[in-house]
Structure 1
């Protein structure tokens, strides 16, 4: 039992680290969203201080969480799913992408638009108008596209190699 738990946690931590490092690249691609003063205000409010420092520190967090969810789901899916005609790696990879993306789409807007303001980190002077909500969700979708796209391509190639290797 502990071997399986260790395997799941190891795979999740492995993907969190790999995808977290990739999150630095995503941060560069995501940086045009910083032209919106509302998001700069968000990074200015977060600890430690200064929006530029916080941008570098906090931009990795969604990638780390997404990678951990992806790796955990991938590992569990490989153990739980019954064999099919499709490659197990491909199917488990799709499971990981779907679960990690859906949780991220629910988690981050809830955290930014509800939890932070309730805990005293009020970052939007516009009282979280619909434009702020669209900005947060749109920027999250942009960010997740850079995470899910390469993971899907990796699942295709890994699954193709798995099928070609034979039983």
Structure 2
């Protein structure tokens, strides 16, 4: 299938709505990044953000990386919810599928965000922890990821009211 054939199935309203979700999700991702600020008091996480990102300093990289991470998760969740709501008419089925998808997305994001700095980056030669990835580093990264997701879950009832429904 070529790109024009795929785009023929997608309406302009869907594309506009998806772009709108993307922009709003990035804004919400920046807001959600504030949840993790207390963990930046530890030099290990500052070292991670100093190493990973387009700028040379952790203060520049942190908002960029966390906005993309948070915005991507929010957009993924919002589009998943919309696609489930379109596909199924039974409200009980929709609710069950949204709950299952939410848990799967949450667990997947927690797993990926924990494994990236602790396993993948060192294997790629990105050495950000001068302490050798000891138990304190593992606990700090896993605690920060869980804290971040707990905070975003608590914020989600308020933030999803801002996201439009492009598909319905």
Closer/same/farther in 2, CA of residues 16 and 129 from structure 1, 3 Å limit: farther
Q: How does 1:51-66 map onto structure 2 within 5 Å?
A: 51-66=58-73
Closer/same/farther in 2, CA of residues 31 and 101 from structure 1, 3 Å limit: same
Task: Tell me, yes or no, if the aligned pair for 1:73 and 1:99 is still in contact at 8 Å.
Answer: no
Closer/same/farther in 2, CA of residues 154 and 59 from structure 1, 3 Å limit: closer
Provide the C-alpha distance between the structure 1 equivalents of 2:39 and 2:77, rounded to a whole number of angstroms. Answer: 25
Which of 73, 76, 84 is equivalent to 1:77?
Answer: 84
The one-character-per-residue Cα deviations of 1:11-40 (angstroms, maximum 9, x if unpaired) are 655444323212222223321101111101
Q: 1 or 2 for the larger relative contact order (CA 8 Å, sep ≥6)?
A: 2
More deviation in 56-65 or 12-21? Answer: 12-21
Counterpart residue number, 1:45: 51
Closer/same/farther in 2, CA of residues 103 and 151 from structure 1, 3 Å limit: same
Structure 2: unaligned runs, 5 residues or longer: 1-7, 162-168
Task: Tell me, yes or no, if the aligned pair for 2:36 and 2:144 is still in contact at 8 Å.
Answer: yes
Which of 84, 104, 110 is equivalent to 1:105?
Answer: 110
Provide the C-alpha distance between the structure 2 equivalents of 1:83 and 1:120, rounded to a whole number of angstroms. Answer: 50
Greater helix content: 1
Which of 114, 130, 135 is equivalent to 1:130?
Answer: 135
Provide the C-alpha distance between the structure 2 equivalents of 1:16 and 1:147, rounded to a whole number of angstroms. Answer: 17
User: TM-score, normalised to structure 1's length?
Assistant: 0.74
More deviation in 23-32 or 122-131? Answer: 23-32
SS at match of 1:59: helix
Structure 1: unaligned runs, 5 residues or longer: 158-167
